[in-house]
Structure 1
């Protein structure tokens, strides 16, 4: 009987491989075949690493076959096909960053997290589409067409890690690694019905990843269920940078939370949705309210809080991000203007207008607001926010400067460096996913994953399989 490769948890697939119910080669070939059926329509990949993935799969099967003699112990991601945002280096493969300027920029060595993934047994199956340098898009003047939402190819999948969301949601990878400077892991997760973790700043190495805004850049996993997202996160966390802080809950409390028993869990929600009630659409609000209702039904305490000014936070974050982006890219754009897309180069050059005084003032605001957010998380377990203020909209070239105009709930965790977990909650009547995000205390990823698993168990979206069937 043929093993059912898709919609399996990572731990289930690994066990099947160890018990020889299937092989890494069979799994890899199944995913490559799936990519063949979806790539033309969805453009999830900029490059499919067919040959190297097959070679790695054959080598993995050989290692397992000789394990009794060699003592080889398969890693936690043994045989798991993973895509990487095309800003992440893989030795011998161009890191294009979806830019004409980088089409031949072949990486000399693997990014640090790619080395970790390979050591854990993962199969790197391809480079995932994204906005130009994770900043300029969606756009239609880049070397690759923009990725499209698997739930409806006319819709935007979220960005800038758009291909990471698309490749996982369409069954072209079991998990993906994206980057997140202002929500770029969590937005594709929300719009594509996935789980995405933006970790605490610094706990996942950025070595070998194209920089954007150095003080706000993060890298993290996207997957179809919480336990898979946790497994990939655990494989790439950098122990040298991670805090020694351990989950404060007892083992029994953690297990209760993971099953959906939220007795004693304190959930903060912002007063009047942090001033965004007029902007959130009905579907996104319904998902947010559904998550609140589940927390209440399972014993959690909901606390309405007044967090720091979102307008002040957004303004300071925009100044910092635009200044840091311009510092990295403005000289390159001015030197080779036509090699960059219109959206990207216009956004980059805006940052040249940020003065040193404005940047330093924004950094001072960051310290003040960061302390306020830390204090908020000292008295609660999680801070609950919508995953997005709207469901996925039409794929089109967006207003170049939209992100400077309206406050962005997703930039909060990048600004403070706190971890944030995106979770799908439900689907609209049209079948489009939408969800929420949980922000935790610094180094509180395990607590977020525990509560996320509990929500997942109650919402049961993983059991219904969010992967589109077409």
Structure 2
């Protein structure tokens, strides 16, 4: 059998059913791997071995009694540390909340427990999901398992690093300007920002109310569909939640892409923010692979990345300021430098700026919707560069905003990032697929076809 730490959630479920592995055995194996590997990566802020083992034993007892809750029953998962897990700290990687103990589970945490998943602990993030990677916080920043001298993307940094390193098969992250898809891109895994409103944010520390999403990070597309199935659903107490019947996200995984129409937004990486040559070459190879699989791929045009980024910046900064203003006024020194720098511009945004951004937002949404009259899925770059060295603040600052993820926080369309190859440095490159509202099934369909055709998901980082 494959080493337990590299098993996918689907393979774990099969091993449990065949009784070649048990939840307790798997949890013990992952806790041992975390102890050995995580000191190099800092994926965890807080490991909960007692809680994890109790959940694993409960899952095993249910199995023995013939009760299996579904494909995630007994499967370990990590949770980003802005998502509440009852009894554990929700620190947001910040001194401001370092003593904050969650009194109850977030809705997505409740859903994980209902599915029988085993929660291993809380994972590193950029401070308040915006300020990082930083070295002036209570906890060290997570590192990239492909090369720990490089950053793993963020803000769901521990989620990406831990999944890629085989510390757990599944993780939850959040995405306001790309923070699920950035670590997926940097760490060579699969990260999905579902349609805005598909997954509840209740119990998740907010950054921007109209841009925030919770999303799954996994090593395979099939696992991503499984985890999304577990956490999706209407929540009447989340004002942004959508009442939709959209489910069965993995139903098209084996359908292939023959005759699907794919719009390739080349100008994002060719003109708007010129990509690293190896990233650009990998994107062209993605297009060739999909065409060879039977898809029709054509170049399409949207507003520029700068327009999308400007809208995102005004909305995010304005909404984040409304959350952080009291603390920034009363205890600014408790924030790390990067988070403080990124939050303070919100103090200078006017109501006119915010309203103008929201009006322009409707126009760019209409532009994307217009493309979906002719195309089933869009594809484009995710990150324009492989991950920079984590201690090179200048290069990280230069490259971090060089990405094409924020357009789809602005519009709310589902967007998935996954590995498209390895650069000459040995670090992953990435591609992004975007779909119609609540059509995650087709996005996952295209991603699964590309995954099968290339096998990039079988590559493992040299972390041990």
Moved more, 29-38 or 237-246: 237-246
Distance 1:232 1:254, change over 3 A: closer
Q: CA deviation at 1:8?
A: 1.9
The SS at the match of 1:434 is strand
Instruction: List per-residue Cα deviations over 1:436-468 (Å, max 9, x = no partner).
Output: 010111101011111111010001122x33343
Aligned to 1:183: 178
**Alpha carbons of structure 1 residues 427 and 238: separation in structure 2 relative to 1, 3 Å:** same
Q: Is the 8 A contact 2:272 2:306 kept in 1?
A: no
Separation in structure 2 between the aligned mates of residue 429 and residue 312 of structure 1, nearest angstrom? 32
Question: How many Å apart are 1:120 and its aligned residue?
Answer: 0.7
Shift of residue 306 of structure 1?
A: 1.7
* Structure 1 residue matching 2:215: 3-state secondary structure: strand
2:383–2:402 CA contact under 8 A, matched in 1: no
| Displacement of 1:26 | 0.5
- Partner residue of 1:377 out of 366, 372, 377: 372
Change (3 A) 1:33 1:289: same
Q: What does residue range 296-311 of structure 1 map to in structure 2 within 5 Å?
A: 296-311=291-306
Residue in 1 that maps onto 2:80:
85
Partner residue in 1 for 2:239: none
The TM-score, its normalising length taken from structure 2, stands at 0.94
The reply to whether residue 346 of structure 1 matches residue 347 of structure 2 is no
**Residue pair 1:426, 1:434 contacting (<8 A) in 2 also:** yes
What runs of 5+ residues in structure 1 fail to find an aligned partner? Answer: none
SS at match of 1:138: coil
Match of 1:266 in 2: 261
Residue-by-residue CA offset, 1:377-436 (whole Å, 9 max, x unaligned): 221011111121001111036469959996741101100000001111211233211110
Q: Residue 446 of structure 2 is aligned with which of 428, 448, 451?
A: 451
The reply to whether residue 243 of structure 1 matches residue 244 of structure 2 is yes
| 8 Å Cα contact 1:139-1:397 kept in structure 2 | no
Counterpart CA distance in 2 for 1:352 and 1:404 is 25
The structure-2 alpha-carbon separation of the partners of 1:292 and 1:277, relative to structure 1 and needing over 3 Å to count, comes to farther
State the match for 1:108 in structure 2. Answer: 103
Aligned to 1:465: 459
Mean alpha-carbon deviation: is it higher for 14-23 or for 316-325?
14-23
SS, match of residue 378 in structure 1: coil
In structure 2, the residue matched to 1:19 is: 18
Give RMSD over aligned pairs.
Answer: 2.3
Alignment partners' CA distance in 2, 1:415 and 1:407: 16
Is the 8 Å Cα contact of residues 311 and 407 (structure 1) preserved in structure 2? no
Aligned to 1:322: 317
> What's the CA shift for 1:11?
1.9
What does residue 49 of structure 2 align with?
50
Q: Does the CA contact (< 8 Å) of 1:137 and 1:398 recur in 2?
A: no
Aligned length: 458
Change (3 A) 1:194 1:400: closer
**How far, CA to CA, are the matches of 1:295 and 1:422 in structure 2?**
16
Once residues 391 and 249 of structure 2 are traced to their aligned partners in structure 1, the CA distance between those partners, rounded to angstroms, is: 45
Please report the TM-score for the alignment, with normalisation by the length of structure 1: 0.93
Q: Distance in 2 between the 1:465 and 1:337 partners?
A: 43
Q: Distance in 1 between matches of 2:401 and 2:249?
A: 36
| Structure 2 residue aligned with 1:35 | 34
